[in-house]
Amino acid sequence: MNTLMVCPGCGAKNRVPAEKQHLAPKCGRCGLSLVGAPVSGLVNQLVDAQFHQRVEQSSMPVLLDFYSPTCGPCRMIAPVVDALAQEYAGRLLVFKLDTSSQQMTPARFQIRGVPTLMFFKDGKMVDQLVGAAPRSDIEQRINRLLS
C-alpha cells in the first residue's frame, strides 16, 4: 500500500510505498527527512508540542480526535476514525491526541469531554463534534470541511 507522507517542512505530499518507509525517506521537493512525518491515510498520534506545526501549519485539512485510553465511547469510534482516515487518504490528515497525557491542547480548546472531534482548515478550527457520533455524521462534517 502506498501512503502519502506530508512533509513537515514544505507541506508537499510524498507517495512512499509501504515497503520503503523504513528506508528513511526524504521529501521529493525540499529534501527534508520524512521520518516521523504524518501520514495521510492513517491516524497519527499527536502530542501538544507538535500541534502548531502539524495542525496549524498543515496545508491539508485536519481531523483531530481528542480521546482518552480509558474512555469507552472513544474506543467505540476509534475504528470509525481509522476507516475514515483510509477513505480520505490524500485529502485529509487525521490525528489523535491522548488527553490523559497531553493537557495544553485540550485546555486551549476547552475540551470538556471525550471523544471530541475537531476539524481544522488553514490552521483554524472550523467545526467540532462532541461525543461518539455515528459515522455518517462524521463523514458529513469531513465532506463539508473538504468542500
Residue among 3, 9, 26, 82 that touches Zn ion (CB under 5 A): 9
CB of 49 to Zn ion, least distance (A): 20
Question: Is 7 an interacting residue with respect to Zn ion (CB under 5 A)?
Answer: yes
7 is catalytic: no
CB of 13 to Zn ion, least distance (A): 10
Residues pairing with 16 in the sheet: 3
Residue 60: partners with Cβ closer than 8 Å, 6 or more residues away: 6, 11, 13, 40, 91, 92, 93
Over the window 10 to 29, marking each residue x when it contacts Zn ion by CB under 5 A and - when it does not, the resulting string is x-x--------------x-x
Task: Give the type of residue at 72.
Answer: G
What 3-state DSSP class applies to 119? strand
Piece in contact with Zn ion (CB under 5 A), picked from 1-9, 88-96, 112-120, 132-140: 1-9
DSSP state of 20: G
Q: Give the span between the Cα atoms of 23 and 137, in whole angstroms.
A: 38
Over the window 30 to 69, marking each residue x when it contacts Zn ion by CB under 5 A and - when it does not, the resulting string is x-x-------------------------------------
- CB of 12 or CB of 42, closer to Zn ion: 12
- Spatial contact of 8 and 52, defined as CB atoms under 8 Å apart: no
Neighbour count for residue 41 (Cβ, 10 Å): 20
Q: Give the span between the Cα atoms of 30 and 78, in whole angstroms.
A: 34
Question: Is 97 an interacting residue with respect to Zn ion (CB under 5 A)?
Answer: no
- CB of 55 or CB of 117, closer to Zn ion: 55
Give the interface with Zn ion as residue ranges (CB under 5 A). 7, 9-10, 12, 27, 29-30, 32
